[in-house]
Amino acid sequence: MCFTVYVMRHGQTDANANEIEQGSADFSRLTDLGKEQASNAYQALVDTRVTSIYTSPLTRARQTLEQLRQADSSSTQTVLPPSDLILNNLREIDQYDWQGQSYSELKRQFPESWRAWEKGIPDEMKVLETATNVVHYPLLEMWERADRVWSEILDLERKQQDDDNEKDRSVLIVAHGNLGQALLGSAMGWDANSFNDKGVFGNCGMAKI
């Protein structure tokens, strides 16, 4: 099976614009700029026939896909399939108590963990989950989840290939910036220490694997 994957981050959200940590919480929505970014990102797909779409369950990713579909419907030759599949493992990094707080406040309250977050030091990036009184290592957890979601997608694609009798598969994943790094890193055989080391996903940034 020839298997090509396009990993796209969602467009700008109100939380992005206001430097609020989103994590896997679902309170943010695309700004007008974010919708424009998503519509423009469609141009990177016009020469591709996408056979499958997988998305995060979070609204900002779903809104981004909606903008892509609107652009596709206006195109002379559509490239997106009519359906998509939501995978919970494609949600953004779980940031627990950090979610909903401003970057400036997080830097002030948790300077060591924030530094580890920015520098990509997974063993030192710790976040408390007050509800369970458990200290988590979000970068390590996200990398493990990226491995799992690749296995999930590959299993689904093999089944779809058998059903469709197609040799070539082109997959679009609409998800998030931090998870996108983990998906790319996992696919390339890099561990969580590569976080923020190979570049970051801007809003509606896309990587081809």
pLDDT score at 165: 67
**Sign (positive or negative) of CA dihedral 150, 113, 201, 80:** positive
Burial of 81 (0-12, 13-18, 19+ CB in 10 A): middle
Full pLDDT tens readout for the chain, 209 residues: 688 999 999 999 999 999 999 999 999 999 999 999 999 999 999 999 999 999 999 999 999 999 999 999 998 888 999 999 999 999 999 999 999 999 999 999 999 999 999 999 999 999 999 999 999 999 999 999 999 999 999 999 988 877 776 678 899 999 999 999 999 999 999 999 999 887 789 999 999 99
pLDDT score at 76: 84
On the CB side of 52, how many CA atoms lie within 13 Å of its CA? Answer: 23
Q: How many residues does the chain have?
A: 209
pLDDT score at 168: 83
